[in-house]
Amino acid sequence: MAYKYKKVADGLRQQIKDGKYIPGELMPDQNQIAKDFNTTRITVHKALQLLMIEGMVYSKRGSGTYVRKDYVASENTPGLGGVSPIDKPIGATLTNEGKKVTSKVIELSARIPTKKEADQLLIQPTEPVYVIQRVRYVNDTVFAYEHTIMPTSITTLTKKILEGSIYGHLKKEGLKIEGTHRVIRADKASQNDVNNGIATKLGEPVLVINQLSYLDDGQPFEIAEARFPYEGSTLSADVTL
């Protein structure tokens, strides 16, 4: 027998797929949803948490729950999938607070996005994007290699900003980062990994995190891939059942 919150989640999921609530739309408050499903607010809260994990919705403090702007209904991809409790893209600087974090900027350029990039970032095909490559160091030791695509309309970036914290810069600009759709996987080291100090030889294991990050209004602002040396790379998460 399924738990009540799972039945509520199933119902809301189907409503989103059927278009009752469209991408970017504010959903009814939890009290109204509880009334609609003849259940409690606590049950609704757990159901919405499940949909957040699946990547269908996100919560904006003081405002409510919204359907993700980048959500596309598909039978093969219920929700975006892969959004885990470790969905806050706080970056290397905050992850290693109290340590010396520096960056070597390899590339800062701009170009027209590919169709896939424009679709993911919900921008027009003619809207330029930054292409960012940098190696991050923690206490002078290689921490990660990052490749990032970001719309130029989000903010103005310089080499000096990239040598520090991009997320810190966005915060100063008044932008609030809400969360991330994140996929974590293992890969074999490429020549680029060796060149950037992520691996010592070809084929060595590396940890890879691909993520699509979005602001508190649900607008995606960053496509990023980070590659980490296998030695010293750990991943932790608090999971609430």
pTM: 0.70
Reported as a single tens digit per residue, the pLDDT across 2-11 is: 578 889 989 9
Q: What percent of the chain has pLDDT over 90?
A: 55
Position 53 in a domain? yes
* pLDDT band per the 50, 70, 90 thresholds, residue 94: low
- Region 176-191: what's the mean pLDDT? 87
Does 75 reside within a domain?
no
Q: With beta carbons less than 8 A apart as the criterion, state whether 220 and 214 touch.
A: yes
Q: Is the pLDDT of residue 216 over 90?
A: no
What confidence tens digit (pLDDT) does each residue in 71-83 have? 766 544 433 333 3
23 lies in the same domain as 102:
no
Q: Is the pLDDT of residue 234 over 70?
A: no
pLDDT surpassing 90 at residue 63: no
- Which CATH number do you get for residue 54? 1.10.10.10
Range of the structural domain that residue 25 is part of? 4-67
**Using CB atoms within 10 A of its CB, is residue 43 exposed (0-12), middle (13-18) or buried (19+)?**
buried
Asked if pLDDT for residue 16 goes beyond 60, the answer is: yes
Q: What is the DSSP string of 155-222?
A: ----HHHHTS-HHHHHHHTT--EEEEEEEEEEEE--HHHHHTTS-SSTT-EEEEEEEEEEETTS-EEE
Answer yes or no: is 73 within a domain. Answer: no
220 and 145 co-located in one domain = yes
Kindly state whether residues 60 and 98 are assigned to the same domain.
no
The answer as to whether 237 is a domain residue is no
What is the domain count for the chain? Answer: 2
